[in-house]
Amino acid sequence: MKCSVVILNWNGEQTLRQFLPSVLQHTQLPDVEIVVADNGSTDGSLAYLRTQPIRIITLDKNYGFAEGYNRALAQVEAQYTVLLNSDVEVTPHWLDTMLDYMDAHPETVAAQPKVLAWHSKQQYDNGEIPAIRFEHAGAAGGMMDVLGYPYCRGRFMTYVEEDHGQYDQPAPIFWATGACLLVRTQTYKDLGGLDANFFAHQEEIDLCWRIWNASKWDQESKIGCIMSLPQSVVYHVGGGTLGYDNPRKTFLNFRNNLLMLRKNLPASRLWWVMLIRFFMDYAAALQMLLTKQIPNAKAVFQARWAYHKMKKQYPISQYQLQIANNLLCKRSIVFDFYIRKQKK
């Protein structure tokens, strides 16, 4: 099998009915299968899926995003796998464009398409806005700042750019979005897949960081082991697992980000990053308290405590920092956005 497109579902019948047809329509390629892994749904998802020309993997309960995908990919033997969110609308040639690139560049391990906002597309089609904006989680490829805060080409903190073709050339990126992540299946398995302890949120960033740590890369090369391939385009709704202001999402983002830093930063860099993050995380919690976001502030405190309890499971990384400086950048996006008022 050349490629398996794997969609993880949990009680998402209506989302599947809306977005699975575009995947079926635009993924009619030889030696490519569409797989839906059901995470113990209790709605009508399975009944609907059984009417579709797809392969179904049934899991006995909701294992979350990370372990759910790991269990699904244990049953996948294709050369390539796409981790595709159920709320993604794909476009013609979205997959063959990326597969052709991966075939031609064996040094590339993972890739993502250009990810635009589905709701913005609806507004654009209705003539309400002049251009379509990038989607928050992925945009034109993920990057990482000096303190471990992720951002994207096309999305800087809360500011999301309009798409005017400014990122339409293939480029190395730090991380590829889990909304639509193409990866060499064997590499995924060799690295242990997604970290199941993360449950959801930032688990794909951790995987991509481990891919970079395990790779060798010429910093002058325009071809990286993880690439943004903008000739492939998808539209993502976003916020399907948890809403953007959900305290559970806040908890997972803060906790998982700290765990990821411990796993992947070398000791010489980890100590001072963690020291600064200690103060910045509690400053964020204070700002939430002052703006009456009490549940989210509480989630930050809980995330810091959960990290403290879990960190012994993760030995400090023995890797040296292999990633080029223009990928793991020297800037603080928090300082740039709030103090210098920069938006990219």
| Helix/strand/coil (H/E/C) assignment for every residue in 275-328 | HHHHHHHHHHHHHHHHCCCHHHHHHHHHHHHHHHHHHHHCCCECCCCCCCCCCE
Give the three-class secondary structure for 33. Answer: strand
Place of tokens 């033997």: 77
DSSP-assigned letter for residue 302: H
- Evaluate if pTM is beyond 0.75: yes
Answer yes or no: are the C-beta atoms of 152 and 158 closer than 8 Å. no
The CA–CA distances, whole Å, from 249 to 110, 209, 252 equal 25, 21, 5
Per-residue pLDDT of the chain (344 residues; tens, 9 = 90+): 999 999 999 999 999 999 999 999 999 999 999 999 999 999 999 999 999 999 999 999 999 999 999 999 999 999 999 999 999 999 999 999 999 999 999 999 999 999 999 999 999 999 999 999 999 989 999 999 999 999 999 999 889 999 999 999 999 999 999 999 999 999 999 999 999 999 888 999 999 999 988 876 666 666 679 999 999 999 999 865 556 679 999 999 999 999 999 999 888 889 999 999 999 999 999 999 999 999 999 999 999 999 999 999 998 876 666 665 557 777 888 888 878 888 77
Answer yes or no: are the C-beta atoms of 255 and 303 closer than 8 Å. yes
Domain with CATH 3.90.550.10 in the chain: 3-236
271: its two tokens = 């100590």
| CATH topology (fold) of 3-236 | Spore Coat Polysaccharide Biosynthesis Protein SpsA; Chain A (3.90.550)
> From CA 209, how far away is CA 48, in angstroms rounded?
37
Model pLDDT, residue 190: 95
Backbone φ and ψ for 258, nearest 5 degrees, come out as -65, -40
Model pLDDT, residue 21: 98
Place of tokens 């997972």: 252
Give 264: exposed, middle or buried? Use CB within 10 Å, 0-12, 13-18, 19+: buried
Angle at 110 between CA 160 and CA 89, to 5 degrees: 50
Rounded to a whole number, what is the distance in angstroms from the first to the last CA of the chain? 40
